[in-house]
Amino acid sequence: MKQLAMLLRQVGRNYRQTWGTQLMTLLTVVLSVLIFSFFFLVYMNMLRASDRLGDDIRIIVYLDEEPVPELRPQIERKIREFSEVDRIAFVSRQEAYNRLAKQLGNDRDVLADLGPSFLPPSIEVYPQKNLKNLARVEEFARYLHTLPGAAKVQYGHGWLQRFSYFTNLLQIIVLMSGALLILSMTFIVSYTIRLTVIARQEELEILRLLGASSFYIRGPLLVEGILQGLLGSGLGLYALYLLFHWIAQKFSGPGLLNLFDFRFFSPLMMAIILMVSVLLCAAGTTFSIRRFLRI
């Protein structure tokens, strides 16, 4: 208990002596966590949105001619050779016509002079929910194009591709901001501790002569590093939470953002970010202590 009290007293004393440096370090950690967690939050939400979009994927194969009933099982068997198929629906010209008429509602008169013959028959293929990889969807679409009588295959290719590219880009940004987080935390915290060690070299030397234990000398430095990580990541996450709420309020109502159902980090994810930050800062501190504290 005495040791803990002394440890905290030393930490407080050092914070008072080097508050300028400590504050700058804290701000750096806060900013790093904020930048990383911002992109990570967007990325997580995009992944969730991508999951939802993946659930709605439907590949339509337009046919030249309506397949005779005897041919349908063969086509179905061929499609199911691709293992990730959930269900298949044949849409006749008449059914397509009825759907269009239903969609047009009161304007269905425009179809009055046209028979169902102008619409192509089609097969709607619903892939399994685990088929989310764009390359795999493309491969599947190419395969469906080889079916006998297939004229065109449609699955919102352009949109899916852009979304996939965007998610990939976000992934790279998250990785880069993650690297920034690691570098800033370990290097900046390590550098701050180094400055502290250099500034207090004389004092530490005297402490050694007075018989201070390794824990007495190293303990406060380690606690300072851990506190930087804890406070920095806590404040960074809190700032992100405020930003998240501000965006949610400003952009509420019908709009693009509502399509994505943005959510904040779960308590578990926040705990992980806090813990990783603390570990990174502790690692930076330990490095500096080992490297520069010659006692």
212 in contact with another protein (CB under 8 A):
yes
Q: Which of 81, 107, 113, 202 binds another protein (CB under 8 A)?
A: 202
As a whole number of angstroms, the distance between CA 181 and CA 174 comes to 10
Stretch of 63-71, 95-103, 177-185, 203-211 contacting another protein, by CB under 8 A: 203-211
| # chain residues binding another protein, by CB under 8 A | 17
Q: Calculate the alpha carbon distances from 191 to 61, 108, 181, 278 in Å.
A: 62, 73, 15, 16
Of the candidates 26, 8, 40, the one whose C-alpha atom is nearest the C-alpha of residue 175 is 40
Q: Which of 210, 249, 256, 290 binds another protein (CB under 8 A)?
A: 210
Q: Which of 183, 206, 242, 275 binds another protein (CB under 8 A)?
A: 206
For the record, the structure tokens of 35 come out as: 């930048």
- When the beta carbons of 100 and 212 are compared against another protein, the nearer one is 212
Stretch of 55-63, 121-129, 202-210, 272-280 contacting another protein, by CB under 8 A: 202-210
Q: How many other CB atoms are there within 10 angstroms of residue 107's CB atom?
A: 9
- When the beta carbons of 13 and 152 are compared against another protein, the nearer one is 13
Stretch of 4-12, 35-43, 58-66, 74-82 contacting another protein, by CB under 8 A: 4-12
Degrees (nearest 5) of the Cα angle 49, 50, 56? 95
For the bound state, the minimum distance from the C-beta of residue 227 to another protein, rounded and expressed in Å, comes to: 20
3 in contact with another protein (CB under 8 A):
yes
CB 229 within 8 A of CB 190: no
154 in contact with another protein (CB under 8 A):
no
For the bound state, the minimum distance from the C-beta of residue 15 to another protein, rounded and expressed in Å, comes to: 16
The one-letter amino acid at 209: L
Q: Is 217 helix (H, G, I), strand (E, B) or coil?
A: helix
Q: Which of 111, 207, 227, 279 binds another protein (CB under 8 A)?
A: 207
CB 137 within 8 A of CB 155: yes
- When the beta carbons of 82 and 216 are compared against another protein, the nearer one is 216
Q: How many other CB atoms are there within 10 angstroms of residue 267's CB atom?
A: 8
Site string for another protein, 52-81 (x = CB under 8 A): ------------------------------
Q: Which of 105, 158, 211, 254 binds another protein (CB under 8 A)?
A: 211
**3-state SS string for 94-158:** HHHHHHHHHHHHHHHHHHCCCCHHHCCCEEEEEECCCCCCHHHHHHHHHHHHCCCCEEEEECCHH
For the bound state, the minimum distance from the C-beta of residue 173 to another protein, rounded and expressed in Å, comes to: 46
203 in contact with another protein (CB under 8 A):
yes
214 in contact with another protein (CB under 8 A):
yes
- Give just the sign of the alpha carbon dihedral 216, 207, 227, 280: negative
CB 189 within 8 A of CB 285: yes
Of the candidates 125, 119, 121, 141, the one whose C-alpha atom is nearest the C-alpha of residue 76 is 125
For the bound state, the minimum distance from the C-beta of residue 211 to another protein, rounded and expressed in Å, comes to: 3
Residues that bind another protein (CB under 8 A): 2-3, 6, 9-10, 202-203, 206-214, 216
